[in-house]
Every structure is written in C-alpha cells, then in structure tokens.
C-alpha cells in the first residue's frame, strides 16, 4: 500500500484510502457550502419577489382608484358625453405621462422641469413659444409627481378653452422659486394676453383637481383677473430633493 507524507504533519503518513477519503470529504463540504449559499440566495430572491409583488399591488390599486375617480367625476360634472370623453382622455393622458416619468426614474425623485415640460407638451404642439418656464434644478419626490401632473394638465386645459391659450396672443409663464421663510418652493402659473376671466359659478371636478390638497395641508390658490388666471401652490421642502 502506497503511503503519502503530509507537509503539515511532518513525519505523519496516511494511506491511499485515507488520502482519498480526505479529498472526498473536502468535496462534500464544498458542495454542502454551495448548497447552503444557493438556498440562502433562493430565500432572499423569494422575499424580494414577495416585496415587489406587494408594492406592485399597492401601486396598481392606487392607480385604479385614481382612474376610477377621474372617470366617475368627469362624467358627473360634464355637460355631455362628448365633453366627459374629452376630459377623461386628457386626464388619463396626464396620468400616463406622470407614470412614464416615474418609470424613467425608477419611482424615485423626478426633475420638476421634466414634469412641467411633459404637462405642457400636448398644448404647445406648434411650438410658438406660448409658454415661458423658469424652473430651478430640483427634483420632487415620487409622491408629488402625479398630483403636479394632474394639476398642470387642468390648468393647460382651462387655458386652452377659456384663458390665455384660447387667444392667438396669449401666453403662460410657469415660475418656481424658493421661499426661505416658508421653507418651500413656490410654483406660480400666470396667464397673460388672453380674454378676461371670471371665477366659475360652480366648482367642477377640474377645479377640485387644481385646488386639491397636493402636499399635506398645502392647497393651490386660484385667482381670476382681467389679465388671466394665476395659480400658486407652495411645495413644502419635504417634497423636494435637491
């Protein structure tokens, strides 16, 4: 029987059988370790999958709830089915645009300028410079994207029907600036050059979408004057990612 000397044990010697068993045991230990790691990876993957499915479920439920509210409220406040259809189409387009931006940012902080540009794009198709934008380089949190997109869509729609964008010479400025005293960002929509506007006699769903509580206790403020609509909303610093 052949014997092998081991450097680690000096003069100690082991047989061929012992030598073979030693390496077989080493292979077995390696396989067990790999199996354990694979099992741990599968466990982590399963937990991650569950978390992703739960998050997807909540997001789908929220989106469906918003979609249902848009459809039902648009129909109930419209004067005709055609008007309701147009309103639903525009609002769902705005909602889709907001979700596209969120997808591009992996549902994270989104540039405010991107939200504004996406909202006004369908209403500035001829690129006549009807809009003037002054937006600082800031991101808003994911929770702020959808309400901002819907609010801007309503303002654009109303301006096209009744305000500055219904006139060939009308313009809209969208300005955002910091307000250190309020620790927030003030977003101002201002129409000029359009027909004189008056406050509506009834609050439509569109008005409620604009004035809704966007960020906790903050609400958009609408002013109707001879030069056009002015809408101001304070975006708390908690909703801003610098």
Q: Among 92, 136, 138, 119, which Cα is nearest to 240's?
A: 138
Q: Are 153 and 116 in contact (CB under 8 A)?
A: no
The b/e string for 203-229 (b: 16+ C-beta within 10 A; e otherwise) is ebbbbebbbeebbeeeebebeeeeebb
Model pTM score: 0.71
The b/e string for 174-187 (b: 16+ C-beta within 10 A; e otherwise) is bebeeeeeeebbeb
pLDDT of the chain, 242 residues: tens digit per residue? 444 444 444 444 555 555 555 555 666 666 666 666 666 666 766 766 676 676 666 667 677 677 777 777 777 777 888 888 888 888 888 888 898 998 898 888 889 999 999 999 888 866 567 899 998 888 888 888 888 898 999 999 989 888 999 888 899 999 988 765 556 788 999 999 988 888 877 777 777 777 765 555 566 888 888 888 999 988 766 566 55
pLDDT at 125: 66
Q: Can you tell me the distance from the alpha carbon of 213 to that of 205, in angstroms, rounded to the nearest whole number? A: 14
Determine which helix (DSSP H) or strand (DSSP E) holds 183, and give its type and residue range. Answer: none
Q: Report, in angstroms and rounded to the nearest whole number, the Rg of the chain calculated over CA atoms.
A: 31
pLDDT at 52: 65
pLDDT at 191: 94
pLDDT at 75: 78
pLDDT at 28: 63
- Residue 125: DSSP 8-state: T
| SS3 call for 172 | strand
User: Tell me: the pLDDT tens digits for 59-102?
Assistant: 676 776 777 777 777 777 778 888 888 888 888 888 888 989 98
pLDDT at 78: 74
Which residue has tokens 């045991």?
25
Q: State the CB neighbour count (10 A cutoff) for residue 26.
A: 10
Determine which helix (DSSP H) or strand (DSSP E) holds 185, and give its type and residue range. Answer: strand 184-192
pLDDT at 101: 92
Q: State the CB neighbour count (10 A cutoff) for residue 12.
A: 9
């Amino acid at each position: 029987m052949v014997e092998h000397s081991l450097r680690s044990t000096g003069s100690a010697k082991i047989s061929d059988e012992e030598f073979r068993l030693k390496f077989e045991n080493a292979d077995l230990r390696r396989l067990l370790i790999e199996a354990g790691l694979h099992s741990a990876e599968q466990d982590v993957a399963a937990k991650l999958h569950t978390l992703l499915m739960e998050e997807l479920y909540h997001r789908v439920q929220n989106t469906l709830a918003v979609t249902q509210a848009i459809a039902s409220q648009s129909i109930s406040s419209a004067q005709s089915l055609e008007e309701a259809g147009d309103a639903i189409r525009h609002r769902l387009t705005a909602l889709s645009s907001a979700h596209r931006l969120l997808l591009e940012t992996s549902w994270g902080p989104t540039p405010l300028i991107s939200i504004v540009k996406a909202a006004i794009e369908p209403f500035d198709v001829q690129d006549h410079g009807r809009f003037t934008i002054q937006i600082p380089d800031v991101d808003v949190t994911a929770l702020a994207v959808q309400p901002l997109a819907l609010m801007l869509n309503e303002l654009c729609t109303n301006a096209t029907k009744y305000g500055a964008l219904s006139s060939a010479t009308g313009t809209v400025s969208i300005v955002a600036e910091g307000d250190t005293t309020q620790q927030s960002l003030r977003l101002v929509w201002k129409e000029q050059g359009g027909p004189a506007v008056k406050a509506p006699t009834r609050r439509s769903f569109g008005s409620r979408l604009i004035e809704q509580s966007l960020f906790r206790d903050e609400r958009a403020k609408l002013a109707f004057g001879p030069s056009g609509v002015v809408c101001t909303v304070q975006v708390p610093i908690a909703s801003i990612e610098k």
